[in-house]
Structure 1
């Protein structure tokens, strides 16, 4: 009989397994969620919340324990998200074709920031600076806009 009582998982193997699972999730889940009112980010947030609510995770939050790593990792995630959104863009520039994007940038994003700021101050009692930061964080940004202006697979000249 196999005795696993003294077995300890290698962190490197756990990280590779987690990355493999995440890559498979990113490739497969959008196909599975086509007909459901869910998106990949919502599922990833739910999985992360479930993972960090498990008793195996320490009581002290990791971002506070390793602030420099947390900062670098969030910068990396933002760069990857923006790079992925930028790679989806395959539209020739013209004012008419980009009109939805201009409206999102000039109207929707500032109005979202202002509305969330006001709700943060009056509804949550936050200071103005914190409420403005919250509004800027929650407002639709580049990946949302890039998803709006994408026309199809790269090098697809249809719709131009």
Structure 2
């Protein structure tokens, strides 16, 4: 069997399961990402000559698959939102993005440095990675499909869905700050200007 045929079969099966699994798993303590993780493990156990699923052995494939996964997750979160964009109607989202996420990044970074003993750059990177709401993991508490009724979704669900779709881009400057600190020094004079001028 050709690898292309296997790829098409896996993608087709994945699309079919993406339509069926939500109803099957609706009242079970099992999420769709875990089900797909198990499916992936089973597929790679089959003797069909698939490459080793080690991301370090195939960094380019791992990067592209990760990018596709992030794009699909963000697109799914974005398609669920049916509220028109405005400062007032999206105020809960803006508060999560402008206040809660930076505070969470700082809190995790301080805990990582003080409690876990990480160096400041690693602690900041940990905070930047853990602070944003993951659109896949938060899928169970997000808004449902768009409806014709305006503002039909719960405010908390809307805030989590919209924040999950927007926060990744806003967390990247903190990732870049961690990289800048790791490659230069903790002294702001060595990295702050470039970070503010280029990365932010």
| TM-score, normalized by the shorter chain, greater than 0.5 | yes
RMSD: 3.5
Residue 26 of structure 1 corresponds to 18
After superposing the two structures, state which structure 1 stretch, 25-34 or 60-69, moved more: 60-69
Distance 2:115 2:78 in 1: 36
Per-residue CA deviation, residues 27-77 of structure 1 (Å, 9 max, x unaligned), is 1222222223443223334544x449859699x653222222322332232
**TM-score, normalised to structure 1's length?**
0.67
CA contact (8 A) 1:85 1:142 kept: no
Residue 80 of structure 1 corresponds to 72
CA contact (8 A) 1:89 1:149 kept: no
Cα deviation, residue 22, structure 1 = 1.5
Residue 92 of structure 1 corresponds to 84
| CA distance 1:40–1:108, change in 2 (3 Å) | farther
Q: SS at 2:56's partner residue?
A: helix
CA contact (8 A) 1:63 1:70 kept: yes
Distance 2:53 2:142 in 1: 38
Gaps of 5+ in 2: 153-200
> Does 1 or 2 have the higher relative contact order (CA < 8 Å, sep 6+)?
1
2:54 pairs, out of 29, 38, 62, with 62
Residue 111 of structure 1 corresponds to 103
2:132 pairs, out of 140, 145, 148, with 140
Q: SS at 1:112's partner residue?
A: helix
Cα deviation, residue 91, structure 1 = 0.5
| CA distance 1:40–1:12, change in 2 (3 Å) | same
Between Structure 1 and Structure 2, how many residues are aligned? 149
Distance 1:96 1:32 in 2: 38
**TM-score, normalised to structure 2's length?**
0.57
Distance 1:139 1:125 in 2: 19
1:36 paired to 2:50: no
Residue 4 of structure 1 corresponds to none
